[in-house]
């Protein structure tokens, strides 16, 4: 695996899968936060300590494949240009926070299912991504990597509290489980705010597509647990999965309601959005995300035939500003990005139809 392949193949292998409930659930993510006993927290460490962690992972974990994920590639943030960092964020392989660090790094598996972030808020953040609703499977894989690392290093762990983390909300299991979910039905029926309020009362967090501080582009939301202390990993996963299954049920009911009461209006909305995607010469990322959401809904409801749902997922990634500029070979101005985005969408839809 090389940096060029990571940069030039916008679609990660995990994005191509069709996991359970993939008509509504785009992905499941598990993140484990860990720190080393012998080092200060990342927020307090100096350059020398950060480099020691890089060298530790380079020595003990590079060129040592882990089945079924393959070997890992070490990517240091200070060796990447801003555009390369942005591509990694847009592919959901690193956090925006890691992209902004001077001494951060990432170990990325060949399959891109696993990303081990170094010197972010914690020394180690193990991330595992699966398509569809596969929280238990993602946790199993994350624990496999966690055990692999713990065979070589000593974590900061307290018998009473659990894993010691930089942020108090992560103390305990250090587990953050999240699901990326497409909810156009609840948005169109104006039920989404009520649903979000209920979710938050259950102790869960709702964010946008790129996590904390981001907006819900294309009717895509992230739902995750908040506290990790006092619950087992299995309980956290079971609670989140139960809530997600209820959200899926509510979304399906909302879609049925729209079809029953406003079928022609919905069909018109879907085809107008398809017309914009198929014919525009300039399109901004927010408008593209909205139209792609409408067309994906149209495919799920059977209004549009002959186009794969995966193409829409692919285009949602391909049309992000960083990836567009990576394909162009360098920075682009806003209007040129809008032009290239529109061209890419038109060409991709044309290929799919032929």
Number of C-beta neighbours around residue 212 at 10 A? 12
Asked whether residue 208 is marked as a ligand-binding residue, the answer is yes
CA 222 to each of CA 136, 242, 302: distance values in angstroms, whole numbers, following the listed order: 17, 15, 26
Asked whether residue 211 is marked as a ligand-binding residue, the answer is yes
Asked whether residue 212 is marked as a ligand-binding residue, the answer is yes
Q: Which residues have C-beta within 8 Å of that of residue 205, sequence separation ≥ 6?
A: 223, 224, 225, 226
214's tokens: 């981001």
Asked whether residue 210 is marked as a ligand-binding residue, the answer is yes
Q: Which helix (H) or strand (E) holds 141?
A: helix 135-150
Asked whether residue 141 is marked as a ligand-binding residue, the answer is no
Q: Are 318 and 330 in contact (CB under 8 A)?
A: no
Asked whether residue 31 is marked as a ligand-binding residue, the answer is yes
Asked whether residue 29 is marked as a ligand-binding residue, the answer is yes
Report the alpha-carbon distance of residue 149 to residue 116 in Å, rounded.
Answer: 10
Phi, psi of 79 (to 5 degrees): -105, 0
74's tokens: 């070490």
Asked whether residue 30 is marked as a ligand-binding residue, the answer is yes
DSSP single-letter state for residue 120: S
Asked whether residue 27 is marked as a ligand-binding residue, the answer is yes
Asked whether residue 192 is marked as a ligand-binding residue, the answer is no
List of E strands, 95-184: 105-109, 114-118, 124-131, 157-158, 162-163, 175-182
Report the alpha-carbon distance of residue 348 to residue 152 in Å, rounded.
Answer: 46
Asked whether residue 28 is marked as a ligand-binding residue, the answer is yes
Asked whether residue 341 is marked as a ligand-binding residue, the answer is no
Asked whether residue 179 is marked as a ligand-binding residue, the answer is yes
Residue 179, classed as helix, strand or coil, is strand
Task: Say which residue the tokens 């692919």 belong to.
Answer: 314
Asked whether residue 209 is marked as a ligand-binding residue, the answer is yes
Q: Are 119 and 105 in contact (CB under 8 A)?
A: yes
DSSP single-letter state for residue 35: -
What is the Rg, in whole angstroms, of the alpha carbon atoms belonging to the chain?
21
Binding residues: 27-31, 92, 125, 176-180, 207-212
Point out the annotated binding site for ATP. Answer: 27-31, 92, 125, 176-180, 207-212
């Amino acid at each position: 695996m090389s940096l060029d392949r990571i940069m030039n193949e916008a679609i990660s292998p995990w994005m191509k899968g069709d996991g359970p409930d993939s008509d509504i659930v785009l992905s499941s993510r598990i993140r484990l936060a860990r720190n080393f006993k012998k080092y200060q927290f990342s927020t307090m460490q100096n350059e020398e300590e950060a480099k020691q962690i890089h060298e530790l992972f380079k020595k003990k974990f590079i060129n040592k494949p882990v089945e079924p994920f393959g070997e890992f590639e070490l990517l240091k943030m200070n060796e990447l240009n801003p555009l390369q960092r942005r591509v990694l964020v847009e592919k959901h392989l690193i956090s925006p926070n890691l992209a902004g660090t001077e001494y951060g790094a990432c170990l990325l598996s060949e399959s891109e299912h696993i990303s081990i972030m170094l010197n972010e808020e914690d020394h180690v953040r193990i991330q595992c991504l699966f398509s569809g609703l596969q929280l238990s499977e993602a946790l199993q894989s994350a624990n496999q990597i966690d055990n692999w690392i713990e065979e070589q290093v000593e974590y900061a762990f307290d018998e009473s509290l659990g894993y010691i983390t930089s942020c108090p909300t992560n103390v305990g299991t250090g587990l953050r489980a999240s699901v990326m979910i497409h909810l156009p039905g609840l948005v169109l029926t104006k039920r989404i705010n009520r649903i979000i309020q209920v979710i938050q009362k259950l102790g869960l967090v709702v964010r946008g597509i790129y996590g904390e501080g981001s907006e819900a582009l294309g009717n895509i939301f992230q739902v995750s647990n908040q506290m990790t202390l006092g619950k087992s990993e299995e309980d956290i996963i079971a609670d989140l999965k139960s809530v997600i299954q209820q959200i899926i049920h509510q979304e399906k009911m909302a879609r049925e309601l729209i079809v029953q009461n406003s079928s022609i209006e919905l069909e018109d909305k879907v085809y107008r959005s398809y017309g914009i995607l198929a014919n525009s010469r300039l399109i901004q990322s927010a408008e593209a995300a909205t139209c792609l959401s409408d067309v994906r809904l149209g495919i799920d409801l059977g209004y549009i035939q002959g186009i794969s749902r995966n193409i829409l997922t692919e285009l949602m990634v391909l049309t992000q500003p960083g990836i567009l500029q990576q394909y162009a070979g360098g920075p682009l101005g806003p209007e040129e990005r809008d032009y290239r985005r529109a061209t890419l969408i038109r060409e991709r839809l044309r290929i799919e139809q032929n």
